[in-house]
Amino acid sequence: MSRQYMVELETIKQLLDEYYKSNSLDKQTNETVKNKIKKLIIVAHEDTALQETDKQTVISTALTLLAENTGCVEDCEIAETIFRDLFNERKIISQKEINNFYENSPVNRWL
């Protein structure tokens, strides 16, 4: 995976950590940070210089990061909105990747 994508994923992870540690857990900030994951997936998917295996690594890692930070109804709603765009509209991710997301998410215990 390209160093650029690793750095961006780490930056998003830090933003998520800061968000969940803050006292102001507003939905808009949550959506904004998680939409950075969606944008990163889109950019990686469209990156013609990135090999297909590296694209899949970026996408998988980004979806795992999203799963690890999806633990309540609000988080699920945000994830579903992201999936509608990446799965239904753009056809970037597969049903298998969505299933893996739920298997790796803390909300899996309720499913």
Distance CA 85, CA 35 (A): 11
CA–CA distances in Å: residue 54 to residues 58, 83, 84, 110: 6, 20, 23, 32
pLDDT, residue 105, reads 87
Per-domain boundaries in the chain = 3-110
Q: What are phi and psi of 2, to 5 degrees?
A: -60, 140
Distance CA 105, CA 24 (A): 23
pLDDT, residue 95, reads 96
pLDDT tens, position by position, for the chain (111 residues)? 689 999 999 999 999 999 999 887 799 999 999 999 999 999 999 999 999 999 999 999 999 999 999 988 999 999 999 999 999 999 999 999 999 999 888 877 665
